[in-house]
Every structure is written in structure tokens, then in C-alpha cells.
Amino acid sequence: MPRLLVSVGSPTGLHTRPAALFARAAARQPVRVTVRKPGRNPVDARSLLAVLTLAACHGDTLELATEGDHAHAQAALDELAGLLGSDLDSGDGR
């Protein structure tokens, strides 16, 4: 199961707008991706409500993981990690 740790880059954390951008990007992936805070259960990255329940703040470390050994798993993790690590509040319309 491929995994990747990433720090939340949005200055205000994963509030509604950044979480929605992240969940939409996760829904476009060819593999199922989960996200979790260390010590907590993973949630479906495609679910806006589930992502919001993480209450992730700027700088929090999150773990992304894919289920199964799909050829596109690492690319999906890399893309989503890039989003989480960026400033999704910048208004660039991602």
C-alpha cells in the first residue's frame, strides 16, 4: 500500500474551499485514496465531509495512502500531496 506524508500548506488549513479542491482532485484519481492524521482512522479523500472532519491546520502532517497496488497509485499520491502542500487559498482556481 503506497503511502506519503505531507504537511498542509494552506495558511488557514483544510477549511471548506481547500478541502473541496482536494476532494475533487481525489475523486478524479484512478485509485481510491485515503487521508488521515497520525493516530486517527483514515477517511476517504473523495469525501468533502470526511476531509473536513480531519480539522487539519496549516503545517499539520497528513498521511495519504492508496489501496491496492495500482500502476497509477504513486502518481495519484504525488498529485494530491502537491495540492495539500500548496496554498489552496491563493485563489488561482485550481
**Catalytic center residues:** 15
For residue 9 the three cell numbers come to: 500548506
Cβ neighbours for 91, distance < 8 A, ≥ 6 positions apart: none
CB 28 within 8 Å of CB 35 = no
What is the rounded CA–CA span in Å between residue 48 and residue 6? Answer: 18
43-44 vs 3-7, strand pairing mode: unpaired
